[in-house]
Amino acid sequence: MIKRSEFIGKIKKPFPWAGSKVKAAPLIMELLHGDKWANQHIEPFVGSNACLMHMPLDGVRVILNDFDGKLTNVWRCLKYKPIELADAVTGITNSIAITGWDLAIQKGYDAMLDRLHADVEYCDVKLGAYYLDLMANWVGDNPGGCKGPWVTIKDEDGYDILVKSTTEGVRGKQAQYMGDRGVSCQQTHYPADRGVACQQTQYSSGQGVACQQTPRESWFSDISERLSNAKILSHDWKKIMNMYNITSKKTAIMFDPPYNTSGNNGGGIEYINADNNTVSGGVRRWIVENIEALKNTRILVCGRGTEHDELLQYGFQKIKSVNVKSLNKKLADESTQEFLWYKRNNEK
């Protein structure tokens, strides 16, 4: 049985995330910050922010980045406007509402991204709430880009309304895998305690801790406090690495590059054998090309199988992380395992 003390300081992430490092977070944070060596922490691919949710980094400058502006917007909402975000989240589960939220994100995304770039504290609470509601119910591609027969048109008062397209060749949109596509669909595709609708605290009943419901306002306020020393950005990962002084500061960098599309479908072959055209391959090349300049940093790279074994010749260690059973179940070898490639540089 897991002891309650093992959960002290942890905060439950506010949305489910494929590839989340929740299970690996204790090991990652121990490797990077166990001895409190670093004074700067950078994550170019923040995703569900599992590591910072696992433990606070008091006195450390934290840079969180994701190229996906929807994620950046949610984390900024959680930092700067947690109460407003908690009030805006509905917890509704029906496919008409979900389709509408997805379309609203698509239509507002470009303008939101421009504002995210222009103002480091800007956030859109309405779109952030839509995204959290979507993530609590979503199956398929990332919300904000679905396809199907739904389209929006203006009604006689100029408001957007949802209709099914009957015109041949018109590309509409819909939420994927949502039953009959109508209001009778009440399926929750992710367990309630993983999404915002549940309002549970981070302690779940199966872990030896009495499960107590906590209002979203309190939960999101705890996340806001955890993000108090974090700068949250939305740029290409290489730009982030060039924006901050990582050669002279004691910097810890966690690279968790996104999976190739095939990896999300359960095959994983293309991702495991990632070539230099993938983001993951680009991260590995960048490390090798800058290995001398990175001598005052600690670097940790997440991946699968043998994809980053090239780093072993540059002083990295390879550590088994967690077994990912959902990817490529047919393979019996370690190509379905997650690993961490880690290097502790200058220990002073």
How many Å apart are CA 287 and CA 342, to the nearest integer?
12
Per residue in 21-57, pLDDT (tens digit) is: 888 999 999 999 999 999 999 999 999 999 999 999 9
Q: Strand pairing partners for 61?
A: 40
Q: How far apart are the first and last CA of the chain?
A: 38
Q: Name the band, by pLDDT with cuts 50, 70 and 90, for residue 153.
A: confident
Pairing of strands 61-65, 40-43: parallel
CA neighbor of 57 nearest in space, from 77, 81, 29: 29
- Sequence-ordered list of residues with C-beta below 8 angstroms from that of 86, at least 6 positions apart, any chain: 215, 216, 217, 219, 220
Q: pLDDT digit string (tens) for 283-304? A: 999 999 999 989 889 999 998 8
Bridge partner residues of 343 (DSSP): 299
**Structure confidence at residue 328 (pLDDT):** 44
* Residues forming a β-bridge with 304: 338
Q: What global pTM score does this model have?
A: 0.77
Residue 7: which pLDDT band, with cuts at 50, 70 and 90?
very low
Confidence of residue 170 (pLDDT cuts 50, 70, 90): very low
Residue 230 CA to residue 218 CA, distance in Å, equals: 19
CA distance 209 to 201: 11
State the Cα–Cα distance between residues 65 and 51, nearest whole angstrom: 13
Retrieve residue 106's tokens.
């698509």
Instruction: Count the Cβ atoms, other than its own, within 10 Å of residue 294.
Output: 21
- What is the model's pLDDT at position 296? 84
Residue 129 CB contacts under 8 Å (≥ 6 apart), including other chains: 77, 85, 88, 89, 90
Q: Three-state SS across 182-234?
A: CCCCCCCCCCHHHCCCCCECCCCHHHCCCCCECCHHHHHHHHHHHCCCEEEEC
Q: Are 175 and 146 in contact (CB under 8 A)?
A: yes
Question: What is the average pLDDT score of the chain?
Answer: 76
Q: In what order do the strands lie in the sheet with 337-344?
A: 230-233, 61-65, 40-43, 251-255, 297-304, 337-344, 317-323
Domain ranges of the chain: 4-256
